A = this chain, B = another copy of it.
Amino acid sequence: MAPKLTTVEHLKYSKRVVLKSIVGRDDGGVGLAGERVVVGGWVKSCTDKAEPVVAVADVTYPEVLMSRIPILGSIARILGGRKSVPVVKAEGGQSRTVSFVAWLRINDGSCVASLQVVAESSLYPLEQITHVGTSVLVEGVIVKIPAPKKHSIELKAEKILHVGSMNIETYPLRKSRLSLDTVRSYPHLRPRASMGASVARIRNSLFNATHLFFQSNGFLHVHMPIITTMSSRADAKMFQVSTLLNKLVDIEKTDEKNDKEDINIEVVKDAIKEKSARIEELKRTDSNKEALIGALQDLQKAHELALQLEEKQQSKALSVMDKILDFSKDFFLRRAYLSTSPELHLESYACALSSVYTFGPTFEADKDVKAAKNLAERWTIDVALAFAELEDAMNCAEDCLKFLCHKFLESCPDDLILMSKRVDNNCTDRLKSVCSRPFPRITYTEALDFLKKADDGKFDAQAEWGISLSREHESYLADVFFKQPVIIYEYPKEIKPFYVREADNEKTVSAFDIIAPKVGVLVQGSQKEERLKKITTRLEETGLSMEQYEWYLDIRRHGTVKHSGFSLAFENLVMFVTGIDNVKDVIPFPRTRGSAGV
């Protein structure tokens, strides 16, 4: 046995060894040969090449024998079926008992690689542990594979401590290799698939690198509010947060109960019809005037009752309506929404603590059918810097992106290989080029010049000064022309929010976007308007309610400073680094128009 190079790392909060610390080692785990460990995981695949062997004392690993004595393969198929094979156990070179063996590849999500576990049927009924998806907790010894192919080691199981079996009929992820499309419908099982697990690890790596970058650069993380009474954009794209709708359902239930006790209006209406017909008949037959008067008075009473009932019902409906519309009775005593951006609130912290960031969820209810693939809930990194101008924010955003890509390359090499193989073989190059070259910086006006020069009718819409760049314009600049992320700055003021700082020319504002290949806008940033007069004028021009911005203007009234910031769309970043096209595949539980299940 090889000398132990190191010992395994035992997990602190689970009585097992994490697979990454075995198969994720540079030596593939060879240095751990001879170690007794407990491992846990889910079966990713079970070998099909199971073969029988006559084990002899000094050679216990069937694959070696099989490769030497091919005839045994046929015997195996006859004796043991596909998943498990008989092994003639040997002691001192002599055959003793017959046993079946399974080679399970298990994964615990800690890394891309799986560990091969060799389990004999004497330990556990093999048919219960060989299905893809089964969980096992196994004690065994790490052994070196004498003639390694894909793996250098395997685990010889000695005890099966726990098995979580499978309902194979209902399990949707039976196959060992699953496409993103297949697993998308099962977000709760998706991390069991290699791609799902890999995306989770990549998100974690980028998440962790984000905090590392900002914390080491002196930024403070601040939690920003999710519920807000500010409706900065059109209400139409905001989710309303309310407890009134629950109350409404209660009212409905009470009403249903009460309704049963009421005189039914339909009965009264039927009576009116009947009485009206009777009157018509009396008139037609020109009968006794007294009878007609009596009938008319009868009808009058019925009418009065009907009106009373209608009024009662309607006032009930209206009172319910009032209760719903009366947001002064809602939980926050006014209308409240899910925040579409933390940036205004974050500014107030920057204008006190200088350098702050937040990593939180933002919400957009885009009801446009074309937007059905957009996420209603996404994560963004928002950054705000006091005593900082446009260039500072651009530098910070560029450095941040470079740092994240660099850390990702460093910490997830195996996940990157998986993405290259399965999604986009260009993603490593894309990442490396981000890290190695400065991002070109061009003004919006220069960007238009590039687009005009390029436009030999290739764009659906021509780029025009004063109009936002379209997705195809962005794509041309980042994917075709520069072939790397590009910073565009100094935009016409009409296409940027009121709080972006106006230039002396009064036409442009100090905004910038970072446009990246594949995904388009990754970062949106700006230097904020710090001058009270200017920002008040621009706010008035928007027609937004001034009252709700009073607190925001306070920051300009009291010790205003030049400050800047940006917002990085986290899911776009994950798409950028992995090459994955569908945004639903890069977030654990996607919420889109019509879909918030699971």
Residues A166 and B220 in contact, CB atoms below 8 Å apart:
no
User: If A241-B239, A345-B188 touch, does A218 touch B314 (CB 8 Å cutoff)?
Assistant: no
CB-defined contacts of A596 to chain B, threshold 8 Å = 225, 227-229, 332, 334, 336
CB-defined contacts of A244 to chain B, threshold 8 Å = 245
CB-defined contacts of A562 to chain B, threshold 8 Å = 162
Residues B16 and A387 in contact, CB atoms below 8 Å apart:
yes
Residues B13 and A352 in contact, CB atoms below 8 Å apart:
no
Residues A241 and B243 in contact, CB atoms below 8 Å apart:
no
> What is the minimal beta-carbon distance from A417 to any residue of chain B, in angstroms?
19
What 1/0 flags go to A179-203 for Cβ under 8 Å of B?
0000000111111100011001101
| A367 contacts the other chain (CB 8 A) | yes
| A211 contacts the other chain (CB 8 A) | yes
> What is the minimal beta-carbon distance from A362 to any residue of chain B, in angstroms?
10
A226 to B379, CA, bound (A): 11
A223 to B224, CA, bound (A): 16
Residues A557 and B204 in contact, CB atoms below 8 Å apart:
no
| A293 contacts the other chain (CB 8 A) | yes
A289 to B14, CA, bound (A): 99
| A392 contacts the other chain (CB 8 A) | yes
CB-defined contacts of A325 to chain B, threshold 8 Å = 248-249, 252
- Which residues of A, 218-257, contact B by the 8 Å Cβ criterion? 218, 220-229, 235-236, 238-246, 248-249, 252
- Which residues of A, 327-380, contact B by the 8 Å Cβ criterion? 331-336, 338, 345, 348-349, 351-355, 360-361, 363, 365, 367, 376-377, 379
| A284 contacts the other chain (CB 8 A) | no
- Kindly state the interface size class of chain A when it binds its partner: 35 or more
User: If A248-B324, A352-B196 touch, does A12 touch B188 (CB 8 Å cutoff)?
Assistant: no
Partner of A218, one of B18, B217, B320, B336: B18
A550 to B348, CA, bound (A): 44
Which of A52-60, A151-159, A300-308, A452-460 lies at the interface with chain B? A300-308
- Which residues of A, 555-577, contact B by the 8 Å Cβ criterion? 555, 557-562
Chain B residue at minimal CB-CB distance from A300: B299
Residues B218 and A109 in contact, CB atoms below 8 Å apart:
no
Q: How many copies altogether? A: 2
Chain B residue at minimal CB-CB distance from A349: B191
| A386 contacts the other chain (CB 8 A) | yes
Partner of A14, one of B12, B133, B392: B392
Which of A431-439, A504-512, A584-592 lies at the interface with chain B? A584-592
A589 to B223, CA, bound (A): 8
Which of A95-103, A118-126, A393-401, A462-470 lies at the interface with chain B? A393-401
Residues A164 and B246 in contact, CB atoms below 8 Å apart:
no
| A482 contacts the other chain (CB 8 A) | no
CB-defined contacts of A166 to chain B, threshold 8 Å = 557-559
CB-defined contacts of A334 to chain B, threshold 8 Å = 596-597
Residues A218 and B188 in contact, CB atoms below 8 Å apart:
no
Chain B residue at minimal CB-CB distance from A206: B221
Residues A303 and B296 in contact, CB atoms below 8 Å apart:
no
A395 to B10, CA, bound (A): 15
Residues A220 and B204 in contact, CB atoms below 8 Å apart:
yes
> What is the minimal beta-carbon distance from A391 to any residue of chain B, in angstroms?
9
A526 to B243, CA, bound (A): 30
| A317 contacts the other chain (CB 8 A) | yes
CB-defined contacts of A561 to chain B, threshold 8 Å = 40, 135, 137, 162, 164
CB-defined contacts of A167 to chain B, threshold 8 Å = 557-558
User: If A189-B554, A317-B318, A349-B588 touch, does A11 touch B218 (CB 8 Å cutoff)?
Assistant: yes
A125 to B374, CA, bound (A): 54
User: If A18-B354, A164-B559, A243-B367 touch, does A137 touch B331 (CB 8 Å cutoff)?
Assistant: no
What 1/0 flags go to A387-420 for Cβ under 8 Å of B?
1100011011001000000000000000000000
User: If A11-B218, A588-B223, A591-B332 touch, does A353 touch B559 (CB 8 Å cutoff)?
Assistant: no
Partner of A189, one of B192, B204, B348: B348
User: If A348-B191, A558-B133 touch, does A12 touch B217 (CB 8 Å cutoff)?
Assistant: yes
Residues B188 and A559 in contact, CB atoms below 8 Å apart:
no
CB-defined contacts of A139 to chain B, threshold 8 Å = none
Closest 9 CB pairs of A and B: A109-B353, A191-B352, A296-B296, A164-B560, A135-B559, A303-B303, A188-B348, A225-B589, A40-B387
Beyond known contacts A15-B392, A108-B353: 16 more, CB 8 A cutoff: A13-B392, A14-B385, A18-B218, A18-B354, A109-B220, A162-B562, A203-B221, A235-B246, A293-B296, A300-B300, A303-B303, A303-B307, A320-B321, A333-B594, A336-B596, A345-B598
Some 16 contacts from A to B, beta carbons below 8 A apart, are A40-B387, A42-B352, A108-B387, A109-B352, A162-B387, A200-B222, A226-B361, A240-B243, A276-B300, A289-B293, A300-B303, A306-B307, A333-B594, A336-B596, A345-B588, A345-B598
